[in-house]
Structure 1
Amino acid sequence: MRRIPSLAALGALTATLTLTGCGGGSAPAQSSATGATGVTAATPASATGSSSAAAASSAGPAAAGGKIAVNGTLDDPALGDHVVAQAVVRDFPFPASMSGASSGELVLVQISATAGTKYYAGFQTTSLELVTADGTENTLSDGDDLGKAMAAAGYTPFPAGGALDTGKSGSGWVAFDDYQKDSPKLTLRLKRPALSTSDGQNLPAANFDVPLVK
């Protein structure tokens, strides 16, 4: 198992977000570090974006091990990325290879996502974090054993290694190793670092939050 750093944590990139209408031709190849081509990431600022939560479950740790239906939306208006949180599974069993992490709680979140079309950045599930009641930001966990365990239990992992090309859509489950076991609140966060664009804009860092369990 490994924790994957969020896009906001990768602040040493030097390119820019490229408009999809610039220069014609095909999109640049995606960066393996972030899944996004042409990103200049500065130190994240404190700006916080908005999201909508049509329904967050009030089920807490008592619902551990069961599927909790939610209906929350995350939208980044600048990049055009759209994410819908559909369900949560708490206290998913840790695979044997993750036994060292079992003091926490493995949380699965079912999402559907569509990458924006304005830039060639695409969408990466690494831009998602699970925030617990104590404010801890938990990044994605992955690994072959975890993916197999999720699939065997009927929770198909998000496809394509968690990356979507510009304008593409996908759906599936993502996993977080939550350090605050049995947190009474869980929030899904779409995190954008400060970025510059090929048309001369500077996008401030922003967080877009939706409650999953409250």
Structure 2
Amino acid sequence: MGKGRGSRRAETHDKELGDAVVRAQRGDEAAFSAAYRLVHPPLLGYLRGLVGDDAEDVASDAWLEIARDLGRFRGDGAGFRAWTATIARHRAMDHLRRIRSRPRGTVLESELTGLPAPQDTAAEAFETVSTQEALALIAQLPRQQAEAVLLQTVIGLDGPAAARVLGKRPGAVRSATHRGLRRLERYLASPPRGGVTDSDSPSLGDAR
């Protein structure tokens, strides 16, 4: 897929983030604050896509776990973004289970591992809207598509890293991202009325 706004911004700060994480692991509180400032805004956007208005509370739980387990992390800035996204997703899923509102998935008929990447026009069109508008559009997608798109356009992960966070096969994530971005492109061209359906959406939950 074409690199989105979030992905390029994240890559720009990855060295700074990696350095801050190393210092934070040595007990530098200012460095931990710097890492937080770099990671928290996109992480919160991702969580808003998962749990809506409860994102702040879930993010707080995630950061408590991140701070507690920071010494166990091994990797660079990009790896830290993926690690924190994984923790945040686990806390979001726990939250959804608690409130008994886990989203309904749909059946993945085929994994389409050979599907080409979405045209760059989809990502470029997506960049023309504000972050708030983008999240509102993503929220209209079937959940599995939305999560794949959020990880790559908001958190800034590449495809393999997004697949690891989701615990799914890269082909399934690539398929979900492709369909989600193409659907977003259609939304931007002609906003849908009355919401969307799951009729052609893949389910990452069934791709093993």
Shared fold (TM-score greater than 0.5)?
no
Pick the TM interval, shorter chain: under 0.3
| Larger fraction in helix | 2
- TM-score by structure 2 length? 0.27
- TM-score by structure 1 length? 0.27
| Larger fraction in strand | 1
